[in-house]
Amino acid sequence: MAEKVLMKGNEAIAEAAILAGCRHYFGYLITPQTEIAAYMAKKMPKIGGCFLQAESEVAAINMVYGVASTGKRVMTSSSSPGISLKSEGLSYLAGSDLPALVVNVQRGGPGLGGIQPSQSDYFQATKGGGHGDFKMIVLAPSSVQEMASLTVKGFDLADKYRMTSMILADGTMGQMMEPVSLEEAAVADYDKSWAVTGTKCEREHNIINSLSLVPEELEQLNFKRYEKYKTIEENEVMYEEYMMEDADICVSAFGIAARVAKNAIAMARAEGIKVGMIRPITLWPFPVKAFKAAAEKVNSFISVELSMGQMIEDIRASVEYNKPVTLCNRAGGMIPSPEQVLEVIREANKGGNK
Amino acid sequence: MATTQILIAGFGGQGVLFAGKFLAYKGLIADKQVSWLPSYGPEMRGGTANCSVIISDTPVGSPIVGTPDVLVAMNLPSLKKYENDVAKGGIIIVDSALINEKVERDDVTTYYVPATKMANDEGFSTLANMILMGKLMKVCEEIGFDGTEAAINKVVPPKKANLIEVNLKALKTGYDFE
């Protein structure tokens, strides 16, 4: 293991991206993710990479499209309103089957909203994030170490499946410092024979395009893409189970909410309440099977979110509406306290055994 | 199985975040689990700034410090805002050169250190923050003085290595203050 250093979550993402072989970053500054761009601005020129502060988010995501077309690892980052601006580009990336990494360090919304942490872009991230039928692989780090490791993972999955990976973090994850150990990532040899790299008159032209005017053909492209999504749903789900062995109540939370929930679970366990947690690490593909299995054992679920309740819909669907799912939330840049979560756990516990 | 939750609060520019980073590095060097979370946004530009630091023997859950074991208050608004949040039996360290009021609670231990005046007198006027950290290391046994030099070496950027010595001096000044 490399020596542990203290780093902000945003900086850990930037350094991990570089270690994963990313040499192209395009972005536009916005709180609370600006440290990613700042880090790239400092580091990229020194290692022969490209940092470019675009004139807008729209420009940045289209620069990502350009580099992605050449098969090189490329990323952009922003925060909530900036991701909305990028959504057209996200759809084009999907329509052209291009690998890229996009980071969203969420802030309170809607609209310009505020700058404090939020998780209210869950729907936007997990249900597509632009027009048309498509998915992004959505990774939700819950520590600075995961900000780094999931960045590496995100690049790998993007290359493996030729699609966009999104890191869905929040202001707290971006701004907090924790010890992190960073190592050069081994980059697997992915097939990039589709990339536009110049034919040297030795092969057919590769064409990167999302326009397809024949509906029969466009339908087939959609069918094929959804076959790929099915494979991902089978193979790439990641989640953490915490104290679930004997649990009567299952808390679910990701990112900063999971950190708060762990405190609450420790407090509830001290009172003798049997409570555990499923922490989705991939928000898409969602750990449907894990929740379905948990529904066989627990009496009820609690979804802790920094939103008006978005992930809760996926939990309810996963447990097929067979068990009650309660929302414990704050919104607009506020964060639930462990005491608030504990109170909801206590209430759930009053429901008694099934 | 100790967990120490520390909140440092003051004006932007007083070195609140730097002081917190020093403590976090100190914890890291002592092989503890640590987290550091700053306030960010408009309040940093001339308003109040604060920073949550957690140093623990077990993995840190939420990095947000709602009930600090130790509050370091570097201005009056911060003391007023957070005084009642401090855990029963906790510690409040006050820069008494900038805060004329006394802590009203009697279920916490309060230390008054005229850090800003001491820093001015000693000729390192920007290091009141580190004088207060010195005092914190003295009165909070979970933190202690060990590893101070290594932590300062980590937290002072290489380009400013000439400031390592004066930081250590400020820490010692605070540590020795009775």
Phi and psi, residue A26, nearest 5°: -125, 130
Domain that includes residue A294, residue range: 240-350
Domain locations in chain B? 3-176
Rounded to a whole number, what is the distance in Å from the CA of B143 to chain A's nearest CA?
17
Residue whose pair of structure tokens reads 């090189």 in the numeric block = A72
In a domain, A195, yes or no: no
Q: Quick check: is A201 in a domain?
A: no
Contact A176 B36 (CB under 8 A): yes
pLDDT tens digits, B91-108: 999 999 999 999 999 999
Residue A115 contacts B, CB cutoff 8 Å = yes
Q: Let me know whether A248 and A271 are in one domain.
A: yes
Is residue B42's pLDDT more than 80?
A: no
Number of domains composing chain A: 2
- Each of the 354 residues of chain A gets a pLDDT tens digit; together they read 678 999 999 999 999 999 999 999 999 999 999 999 999 999 999 999 999 999 999 999 999 999 999 999 999 999 999 999 999 999 999 999 999 999 999 999 999 999 999 999 999 999 978 999 999 999 999 999 999 999 999 999 999 999 999 999 999 999 999 999 998 888 888 999 999 999 999 999 999 999 999 999 999 999 999 999 999 999 999 999 999 999 999 999 999 999 999 999 999 999 999 999 999 999 999 999 999 999 999 999 999 999 999 999 999 999 999 999 999 999 999 999 999 999 999 999 997 544
C-alpha to C-alpha distance for A337 and A263, rounded to whole angstroms: 9
Compute the distance between CA of residue B30 and CA of residue A218 in angstroms, rounded to an integer: 60
Are A340 and A224 within one domain?
no
Position B178 scores a pLDDT of: 87
For residues A63 and A38, state if they share a domain.
yes
Write down the pLDDT at residue B43: 58
For residues B54-76, average pLDDT:
96
Is A161 within a domain?
A: yes
Superfamily of domain B3-176: Pyruvate-ferredoxin oxidoreductase, PFOR, domain III (3.40.920.10)
Residue B136 has pLDDT above 90, yes or no: yes
Residue A296: which CATH number? Answer: 3.40.50.920
Return the SS3 of B147: coil
Q: What's residue A353's pLDDT?
A: 46
The token pair at A64 is 């990502």
Q: What is the 3-state secondary structure (H, E, C) of chain A?
A: CCCCEEEEHHHHHHHHHHHCCCCEEEECCCCCCHHHHHHHHHHHHHHCCEEEECCCHHHHHHHHHHHHHCCCCEEEEECHHHHHHHHHHHHHHHHCCCCEEEEEEEECCCCCCCCCECCCCHHHHHCCCCCCCCCCEEECCCCHHHHHHHHHHHHHHHHHHCCEEEEEEEHHHHHCEEEECCCCCCCCCCCCCCCCCCCCCCCCCCCCCCCCCCHHHHHHHHHHHHHHHHHHHHHCCCEEEECCCCCCEEEECCHHHHHHHHHHHHHHHHCCCCEEEEEECEEECCCHHHHHHHHCCCCEEEEEECCCCCHHHHHHHHCCCCCCEEEEECCCCCCCCHHHHHHHHHHHHHCCCC
Residues A225 and A258 in one domain: no
Say yes or no: A27 and A143 in one domain.
yes
Q: What are phi and psi of A351, to 5 degrees?
A: -60, -20
CATH value at residue A74: 3.40.50.970
From the DSSP assignment, how many helices (H) and strands (E) are in chain B?
6, 6
Contact B40 A115 (CB under 8 A): yes
From B121's Cα to the closest Cα of chain A, the distance in A is 33
Please tell me the least confidently modeled range out of A287-291, B47-51, B122-126: B47-51
Asked if residue A176 is part of any domain, the answer here is yes
When pLDDT is cut at 50, 70 and 90, the band that residue B41 belongs to is low
Of B36, B61, B64, the CB nearest to A177: B36
